[in-house]
Amino acid sequence: MHRSPTRVWVLGLVIITFTSSACSEHPRREDVLYVSEVPSQVRGAVGASLDPRGFISGWAGAPDKPSHVVDVHVYIDGDASQRDHYVGRVRANLAHAEAAKAMRSDGQYGFRFVVPARFRDGAEHTAYVYAINPSGNINPHIGTLRFRLRDARPFGVLGKLDGGTFIGWALDTDDTVSPLRVGFWVGSERIGVAKTDVARDDVNQTYHVGGAHGFRFALPAALRDGKLHVIQAFVEDDNGRRLARLSGAPQTFSIGDGVELSGALEVVFDQSRSACETWDIPDLPARALRDGDGNIQLYASHYVTYRMTGRDFGALDRICTNGDGSNELTPAYRSHLSSEPRDFANYEWLAATFRLPETNTVYALLHVEYEGHHYPGRCAEYETAYQDCVNSATSSAQRNACTQTFHNRCQETSIVAARSSDGGKTFSRTLVPQVVATRGLPYAPTGARFGYMEPSNILHANDGYYYIFVHTEISPGLQDWGTCLLRSADLSVERPVWHAWDGSGFTVRFDDPYRDSIADPKKQVCAPIEKNKLAKLANSLTYNSYLERYVLIGVQGDSFYYATSRDLIHWEPRRLIARVNAGGDSARFHYLYPSLIDHHTQRINFDHSGREAYLYFTRNNRTPGKGYDRDLVRLKIRFTK
């Protein structure tokens, strides 16, 4: 190969000779120049200390070529002028927060280089790190690091659950040949062990090692019971002594029917830390949308509703005030607490939202409860029984049970419409209520909770209609219990009209019993959809691209369930997601209000989902001596068919 004559570059006080050649990938890199200060477009930095696991970490990128992945070369105990001290290279393609700011880009520019075993002798060594310029032969020195390293701890990752088997890897950089032992624990019970005998090319490429470092651990049959469990994973020595816990552990998991939950149980909203006021608690399923600026708005409502917002689901903030410095609380929606049943404005929950495309208008549905026991004369026939119950109670728990029973005996629920004109920051409703679903008679207590309640999110289907499911309870002589399906042709009009399924078509319109003339209230009822299959599932509705079915999620008994359908009318029998309230921690926690949200869908109202998504739900913390203490949590969900 022809080589040009040797040249000398003088840059500041640094004089380095090099020989030019054709572009070569040979690790001695005779064709490049390494310098500290040059007018280069490559930038980077090296961490101030060595990672305890034996990594040199940092970042490198080319601002004029932000999509280019920069190579990083490492020399130890001699800089680039001493080419025999070259020890390896790594690609700068990992997430790195400092790099993202410096590069003003969302790209990945971080790197981790594993120090070879021969330098893990406890002696002092010096590493010289260079970034390779994609535009030419001038490759800047981006950092020098002095270190001592001996017997680095093993490390690894407990990865995802796949078909009842946990997949992961573990690595000991002091010995990359011998297989490692990984022990698995649920609670205080050691449930098994796996060896790192599975090839993982991704691990080998990332850490510049050979050998097999992956593992697969099949869960015992006893843990495939649909309950929530928490698993830990540790690298162990031959005597079972724990050497290091794997990242990604602990994980909460459950194996259901055609579905798996696994991962860290993430707290999205912690009431004890982030509540704007006392009654700021998650009391309905979570709903999400993207506003016109691309921000996520997330709601999990009580009768006062505050929102969370952020650019992505990993950085959501609770919004209590409007930020003008006044500290005045500004909920997304607050109940009117009207004592008049005809107002449909007593206790109101923001239950469903749908942002209209190309606008900042958000159509919404309110779950409205009229709680007659708060108002004299509205629940008179049950007041004596309530007082007798309270007088005979011997504990606060019994008195609370009396109150709850009395509350339900005089409660009617309805669904009315609301709207936001600012992308979901605040909602309002008309003085004359836009009734979506209600009983065809004026309020009168029945002795049990009755009406139409807790609508699902709104789904815009391929046929152009907007659909919701609604949970119904018995209205004596009128409505049967179950799950009803409603649809609307257009949400952009001033007063959208909804029609319910009557058993053969969408013909039922719910009129206002205080303002409209209703000839026969018995005709203002919907036909529950396949009660034997769905029961009362109505919390969350999406179209799932993996299953190629509509997926409806809800609660039945102590468990979360889902059901699937091709047309929203005919459904397969419900299937278990998880027995969330049947585990050993049911005395400490109670779980309710599940909803399915796929963070990666392109739909601005999150009414579609894929194979992997997140299951959001409320965790009721049964804290002794404390009233309502609820958090919004989420867990990864994966459909397995």
pLDDT at 585: 65
What is the distance between the alpha carbons of residues 217 and 164, in angstroms, rounded to a whole number?
9
The residues facing 169 across adjacent strands are: 157, 214
Burial of 314 (0-12, 13-18, 19+ CB in 10 A): exposed
The pLDDT of residue 385 is: 84
Q: What is the pairing mode between strands 540-544 and 608-609?
A: parallel
The encoded tokens of residue 641 equal 């068919």
Name the helix (H) or strand (E) containing 332.
none
At 67 the pLDDT is: 86
Task: Strand 86-91: give its sheet, edge to edge.
Answer: 33-35, 138-150, 121-131, 71-76, 86-91
For 549-586, b/e burial (b = at least 16 CB within 10 A) is bbbbbbbeeebbbbbbbeebeebeebebbbbbbebeeb
Rounded to the nearest 5 degrees, what angle is found at the Cα of 214, between the Cα atoms of 193 and 208? 140
Question: What's the rounded Cα separation, in Å, for the pair 286 and 619?
Answer: 12
45 beta partners? 59
In angstroms, rounded to a whole number, what is the distance separating the alpha carbons of residues 268 and 478? 40
How far lies 432's CA from each of 326, 499, 512, 580, in Å? Answer: 32, 19, 10, 41
Which pLDDT score, from 0 to 100, does residue 575 have? 98
* pTM tops 0.85: no
Region of residue 530 (phi > 0: left; psi between -120 and 50: alpha; otherwise: beta): left
Cis peptide before 179 (omega within 30 of 0): no
| Percent of the chain surpassing pLDDT 90 | 71
Please state, in angstroms and rounded to a whole number, the distance separating the CA atoms of residues 206 and 108. 14
- Beta-carbon neighbour count of residue 241 at 10 Å? 10
Q: Residue 211: enclosing H or E segment and its boundaries? A: none
Q: Mark the ranges of the chain whose per-residue pLDDT is less than 70.
A: 1-40, 137, 151, 583-587, 624-627
DSSP label at residue 469: E
DSSP string, 38-94: ---S-EEEE-SS--TTSEEEEEEE-TTSTTSPPEEEEEESS-TTSGGGEEEEEE--B
Q: What's the CA gap between 331 and 424, in Å, rounded?
A: 11
Query: Cβ neighbours of residue 405 under 8 Å, at least 6 residues apart?
Result: 386, 389
Name the helix (H) or strand (E) containing 468.
strand 466-473
pLDDT of residue 137: 67
